[in-house]
Amino acid sequence: MANGDTNGPTPEFTEIAETLGKAAAQLQKNWMDWMSSFAKQQGEESEPTGGFRSVAEGLSNLQFDPSRIMTRQLELWRDYQALWLSTTTRMMGQDASPVIEPEQGDQRFRDAEWSDNPVFDFIKQSYLLNARWLRETVAEVDGLDSDSGRKLEFFGRMLVDALAPTNFALTNPQVLRETADSKGENLVRGMQNLSDDLRAGRDGLRPQQTDMSAFEVGKNIATTAGSVVHQTPLMQLIQYEPTTETVYRKPLLIVPPWINKFYILDLKPENSFVRWATEQGYTVFMISWVNPDERLSDKSFDDYVQDGIFAALDAVEHATGERQVTAVGYCIGGTLLSAALAHMAATGDDRISAATFFAAQADFENAGDLKVFTDKGQVDALEHQVRARGYLDGAQMAGTFNALRANDLIWYFVINNYLLGKEPPVFDLLFWNADSTRFPARLLLDYLRGMYQENALAQKGQFKLLGTPLDLGAVTIPVYIQASVEDHIAPAESVFKLNHLFSGPRRFVLAGAGHIAGVVNPPAKRKYQHWLNTRRKAYATFDAWLDDAVEHPGSWWPDWHNWLSRRSGPKVPSRIVGDGAAKIIEPAPGSYVLVRS
């Protein structure tokens, strides 16, 4: 003991020990709560768990090349020798170049200690070396088909992300500082946060991401003025109030995804696409999909087109007197819109004269990480669950989507909420992300099998809508196609294939950021960038297009407005909601959007 103190532990040490004892007790209680919850759910298997088992079953077919494994081991040993030398040099007070550094954009190691402290720098680099070794080794495994290889790579990445030193209290310098400063109170608070999450039914894939009491739909989020002017069992149609004296003659109909809710395009006023579009002079209509329950279990693509898009087109004409509109389809809403357009082309329906696709796919051959969860075995197992319940639960779907971006949507909050003991941030986008929706059973199974397994929509005559075989090549109207460079749900390479499916004039733009931030990027923010290619030539691949593209700073929204305005007709006096034949049912955002899962 310092200063000759032989009277036992100091008061400060005793306080920390007592605090950590409380945390340990809370952890034990959390473990028992989780075990109890797990016992109640036995027999139910989440999609990620099913994926792990599928990969494990496939490992028996792997073929390991002994010489290749030996080469990999020697390379790792060489890298570790270099790391030991680098670390020893730094411990002696000399400069040394890192053996490996985090990839650009990896925010996990942004704390200065990861670079300034030789010990933490060694921990960081050893983790990065092991992660790289695992990725490269997995990439060279023989004996797997492409789908199994994709699964092995994905779940290997999940494992690597889970084992990052940032996720553990004793190897995270920020957590250690907080523990010392608060005498361990952060861990007590963290265990209480974990307990609260478990009590609320959140599992390990869904830590609380934001303060859900900080936002109220229609009060401080989804506040653009408008009214519901039509509704069916599947959707409400919102018409927004104009903000300009004149508007383009053709109204704009937006078809959002029914996964999550429409107000991703109407968050706070400063990042609302809807508000911005009205300010550019568009009469905006928005479909707000119902949050389905077991009563809608047998609804299909036919129903979502007939009682969704086609019903909305009828209602827009009723409200404005205009037969022709332009349309936007976002994500799975864009998939639905593309099918509807093919049906309209086959039946001579010309009510949509130009279409825009935000991060939407119609060719699912290279549909990204979601394909990990859509093989026959997993979909067959999922069918047993959703048929019995009538829908895919919103929480299960949210857990799957979180797993696609585990570092951002799982592990960041594990560290923030459980290790640092902080409250989650107040953020409108995270509130929307947590406001999950259900997915009707028949629609889900038709979607997973028809699109992800069979890729039927991309093949002429293979997908039927309302009894009509579809041919996307028959769609000759102008289309604007937006993709995002970091999109993990609708990869840019996959979205780009829309250029090969439609036959009319096409404009493709690549946005910076990902599936959400790449779309919701108002010009005033001056964030990210976008790429345009104005060369008049056809490109066989996305990479070839990108090689000739030019990068521009900021949002792509003005480019889209410039494109759409020329296809929206002349200006006419602005339309006041309710002045037409369609009468107001209730104020926006309507009641369908308020139904929580």
Active site residues: 331
For strands 352-358 and 325-330, give the pairing. parallel
Which residue, among 472, 478, 561, has the nearest Cα to 523 in the 3D structure? 561
- Check: CB of residue 188 under 8 Å from CB of residue 26: yes
| Integer angstrom CA distances of residue 101 from 39, 69, 121, 182, 411 | 43, 24, 10, 31, 20
What is residue 571's three-state secondary structure?
strand
Residue 398 is encoded by which pair of tokens? 């949210």
CA distance 296 to 103: 45
As a residue count, the chain comes to 597
- Of 117, 142, 152, 44, give the one whose Cα is nearest residue 392: 44
User: Are the C-beta atoms of 283 and 575 separated by less than 8 Å?
Assistant: yes
Residue type, 154: F
Inter-helix orientation angle 185-199/173-182, to 10° = 110
Burial 301-312, CB ≥16 within 10 A → b, else e: bbbbbbbbbbbb
∠ CA 222-225-229 to the nearest 5 degrees? 100
CB atoms within 10 A of CB 287: 27
Residue 294, both tokens? 């077991």
How open is the CA angle 412-414-417, to the nearest 5 degrees? Answer: 100
Q: Decide the pairing of beta strands 586-587 and 226-231.
A: antiparallel
Containing H/E element for 437?
none
